[in-house]
Structure 1
Amino acid sequence: MSSEFAIKVEGVGKNYQIYDKPHHRLWQMLRGVRKTYYRDFWAVKNVSFSVRRGDTVGIIGRNGAGKSTLLQMICGTLTPTTGSIEVNGRVAALLELGAGFNPEFTGRENVYMNSAVLGLSREETDARFADIIAFADIGDFIGQPVKTYSSGMMVRLAFAVIAHVDADILVVDEALAVGDAFFTQKCMRFIQQFQKNGGTLLFVSHDMGTVMNICQSAIMLFAGGQRNAIMGAAEALCKEYLNQIYDDPERHQQVEQQRSLHEPWVQRDSTKVQTVLTGIAPEKNVYAISPFRADGESFGAGGATITDAGFFAEDGERFTMLEGGQTVRFRVCMRANQALTYPALGIMLKDRLGQYLYTAGTDESFRHHRLVFQAGENICATFQFDMPILSRGVYTINVAVAEGTGDAHIQHHWIHDAIKLEVVSGPVVHGLGSPLNMEITMEFLQPVSEVTA
């Protein structure tokens, strides 16, 4: 295989023999080819594609399309029935939950076992063990049997291992859907750095926003080989996937059933030229706000320390709940550990994939003051704004203090995910959010021929 390719798949298929009754398997063994008691099921059929080194490729498709089966064949845990797979480089995989773990072994023992499977020697694992445990952040549970772990703890440990084995190819199958927001953000930072370092990533997800965000291209599979797999630009294939989902005959049948069960909610007066309806106010967009995480993952030169951050009322009360559209004050407090020239404080609101949605900083607004903070001074910056209407989900806020102007600055203290915001209710379920203070009306217009008759 040419070294420009990390993975090359040619005509790959995986066939299973399905027996309707358990005893049919025995009869098949006894009678051989004289009679067939099974039916063939192709989980994957005639799939071909190539992935270049350094590419990030999404694997998409309906349930039962063979995504997980394909990944297992690429990783070597399943043998293809037909075709061939060539892999150039060390593969680290995070497949179904708990895969590769012995439930009776402790977390520590599973780290060493998984590292060995992925090609690390005992000495190499010893050297990285502290970093693996710090990344997983499961505390004393590292010494407990994995069977006592929650699903989130298993994902933490599994991802921590694959993040420290110097893999050339990373395979992730829906694993980021499990676990808390802070760990998901940590994983996304690792993936972004892995991509920058030239790593190859195969990523399976039903979340098209995630695929379009982190993948340049995608492969769409079809159940049972009904159609050949398609490889192309991630955005184009994600759109095609959504078309398939919403053009599903079962969805149309459900709509027809609803239509037959309900009478029209509004009877319009046909004698009027038009009827205008005003929609009721949408469900409130409610945020739950976490406490400030002073011990969150951070970096910086150390010339300043962020001591507090959060949403506060005018009287200084800290908010734990907010509403979209509400005027809020987000305050960041810091202590100068040395004299700082042109100091600046900033905030960054991110979605669960680590994408920056909104950012704000004091640099441009206060640059003309030529500020200098003296060592030992404590300063707070307050950002006042109307809270956006965001779709349901989990978001986080980074806070930072830097020195300098524009891009010519030094980061002194940057805390990842210092505050978590969870939208617990609201009218928006797709996209980023909704316009503020929106009102909706609907007009029913009669045909011109009816109006003039």
Structure 2
Amino acid sequence: MTENCEYAIQVQDVSKIYRLYEKPIDRLKESLSLTHKSYHRDFFALSNISFQVKKGETVGIIGTNGSGKSTILKIITGVLTPTTGNVRVSGVISALLELGAGFNMDYTGIENVYMNGTMMGFTRSQMDEKLPEILEFADIGDFVYQPVKTYSSGMFVRLAFALAINVEPEILIVDEALSVGDVFFQSKCYRRMEEIRKQGTTILMVTHDMGSVIKYCDRVVLLNKGHYVAEGPAGKMVDLYKKILANQMDALEEELAEMNDFSGGMDGRGSKAAGETDESEGSSKERDADGSSKCLSGQEVLSEDKNQGLMKDKISINPNRTEYGNGKAEIYDLGLFDERGNLTNLLLKGEYFEIKERIRFFDTIQAPIFTYTIKDKKGADLTGTNTMFEGADVKPVGQGDEYEVTFRQKMTLQGGEYLLSMSCTGFEQGEHTVYHRLYDIASITVISNKNTVGVYDMESEVETVLRKGQEHEKN
């Protein structure tokens, strides 16, 4: 590998292979075998991974559990040796990997600070200068004089991160470490990361927090099961990651092919521009001029979709949901669509999304009502609507008829996990009647890079005016 001064990190064709044995004795049998008989199978934690990180860049590595994210970080930092391939690093690395890495549990906090500083190449006098800033950032009080084995996980991560981020690193590598600290400390760490980022520090981070990925990363590398998938702008890579989470591998391959086909009419991100619709989906999508929530329904829009499979097969559905009704109707399919038309359980705060349900009827109903409700994990209703509230034009139905209903709205809930319920109801002889109801049928994960106070965002616009005092003006 040739060194390029433009790059802080160069990873070329890196593989990490582990030998897995059925029984411990098989390892001995293999080592003593005169015929070199193999008793193991190879497990590829990483398979021919290549990417580069420019100096001053903030790059995220994302992927599901078992994708090899932590393994590649350990190889870059020298904790692990690759089976094949090369890694070249240009600059002093400060790494915050899993809790406990690089710390001696029997040493005090201060002793660990000096020991790790020495390992990073700093002299005792240099660490003397940095110590006050490290201790102020960690803010764990007199516990710095106690053995770290007595620390809580929160105190441990405070000290470890304070050390990693306050030694003026040229390259900062962080692996999910911030998920342990409380929200206030996480905010403090991200502010500090933003400061050193502006100073030109290269940052390589692994996290499952997609909001942080979108907010902080200049570029993202997507891995899956030890294989390199793609790299590019954060928003685009998060879209691809959502397809992997929903097991939409065919759709993922199609999108990767489109990204490599520059004649496909794509925008600069390699996907449909936000706000475009895909007419091939056969849905009667409409938009209010002011972008407000709108319910769309129609009985003649289903024929084009019947041969495309069920929407619910492409998202995560609750196998233990509760459902009931009198059997006159059935919600036989449902889907969640993000602003780019992707079927997914992951939605971005601030973007428009659609909830779609398809209902089959087995009897005559004069005025069916279609609903959805979003609840928090404790079961409290947060929001929802129905076709009656929205004033939708819903016509009488008979046996064999089908309806497709699409609710379109902007996601203003805070980042977090939610539950979706839906139903088909109506009134018969003045009594409310449930034809089919699905409780907690699907999960919704909202990804946010700005959470405000409470359940939802008021989308406030802030204006500030500073008026100088007279004494200040004289000076």
Q: Deviations over 1:84-104 (max 9, x none)?
A: 101110111110111111111
| Equivalent of 2:456 in 378, 390, 394 | 390
In structure 2, what is the equivalent of residue 272 of structure 1? 365
Q: Go from structure 1 to structure 2 and tell me whether the alpha carbon gap of 1:63 and 1:162 turns closer, same or farther (over 3 Å shift).
A: same
Q: Go from structure 1 to structure 2 and tell me whether the alpha carbon gap of 1:84 and 1:257 turns closer, same or farther (over 3 Å shift).
A: same
The 5-angstrom pairing of residues 40-439 of structure 1 reads 40-225=42-227, 228-247=228-247, 255=317, 257-258=319-320, 262-264=323-325, 267-268=328-329, 270-277=363-370, 283=380, 389-390=455-456, 403-404=467-468
Structure 2: which amino acid aligns with 1:390? Y
CA positional deviation for 1:214: 0.5
Q: Aligned partners of 2:18, 2:316: CA distance in 1, in Å? A: 33
CA positional deviation for 1:231: 1.5
Could you tell me the TM-score, scaled by structure 2's length? Answer: 0.58
CA positional deviation for 1:271: 2.2
Q: Go from structure 1 to structure 2 and tell me whether the alpha carbon gap of 1:189 and 1:88 turns closer, same or farther (over 3 Å shift).
A: same
CA positional deviation for 1:163: 1.4
Bigger shift: 29-38 or 185-194? 29-38
SS of residue in 2 equivalent to 1:23: helix
Q: Aligned partners of 1:279, 1:217: CA distance in 2, in Å? A: 36
Q: Aligned partners of 1:136, 1:271: CA distance in 2, in Å? A: 68
CA contact (8 A) 1:185 1:354 kept: no
Q: Aligned partners of 2:191, 2:72: CA distance in 1, in Å? A: 26
Q: Aligned partners of 1:88, 1:265: CA distance in 2, in Å? A: 68
Q: Deviations over 1:223-277 (max 9, x none)?
A: 143xx34221111111100111023699869748558x84557745832343125
Structure 2: which amino acid aligns with 1:169? I
Q: Go from structure 1 to structure 2 and tell me whether the alpha carbon gap of 1:144 and 1:284 turns closer, same or farther (over 3 Å shift).
A: farther
Q: Aligned partners of 1:67, 1:276: CA distance in 2, in Å? A: 47
Q: Aligned partners of 2:200, 2:373: CA distance in 1, in Å? A: 51
Q: Aligned partners of 1:40, 1:11: CA distance in 2, in Å? A: 17
CA contact (8 A) 1:10 1:83 kept: yes
CA contact (8 A) 2:99 2:177 kept: yes
Could you tell me the TM-score, scaled by structure 1's length? Answer: 0.61
CA contact (8 A) 2:211 2:448 kept: no
CA positional deviation for 1:23: 1.3
Q: Deviations over 1:62-81 (max 9, x none)?
A: 11110000000111111111
CA contact (8 A) 2:60 2:205 kept: yes
CA positional deviation for 1:357: 6.0
Q: Aligned partners of 1:110, 1:256: CA distance in 2, in Å? A: 47
Q: Aligned partners of 1:144, 1:284: CA distance in 2, in Å? A: 47
Q: Go from structure 1 to structure 2 and tell me whether the alpha carbon gap of 1:128 and 1:27 turns closer, same or farther (over 3 Å shift).
A: same
CA positional deviation for 1:60: 0.6
CA contact (8 A) 1:189 1:354 kept: no
Q: Aligned partners of 1:191, 1:158: CA distance in 2, in Å? A: 14
CA positional deviation for 1:280: 7.0
Matched residues, percent identical? Answer: 43
Q: Where in structure 1 are there 5+ consecutive unaligned residues?
A: 286-323, 325-352, 359-386, 392-399, 411-453
Count of residues in Structure 1 that have an aligned counterpart in Structure 2? 303
Structure 2: which amino acid aligns with 1:389? V
CA positional deviation for 1:195: 1.1
Structure 2: which amino acid aligns with 1:2? N
Q: Aligned partners of 1:93, 1:265: CA distance in 2, in Å? A: 60
Tell me the C-alpha RMSD between the 2 structures: 3.3
Q: Aligned partners of 2:20, 2:220: CA distance in 1, in Å? A: 30
Q: Aligned partners of 1:357, 1:402: CA distance in 2, in Å? A: 26
Q: Aligned partners of 1:280, 1:29: CA distance in 2, in Å? A: 61
CA contact (8 A) 1:118 1:165 kept: no
CA positional deviation for 1:33: 5.4
CA positional deviation for 1:112: 0.7
Q: Aligned partners of 1:401, 1:149: CA distance in 2, in Å? A: 45
CA contact (8 A) 2:246 2:315 kept: no
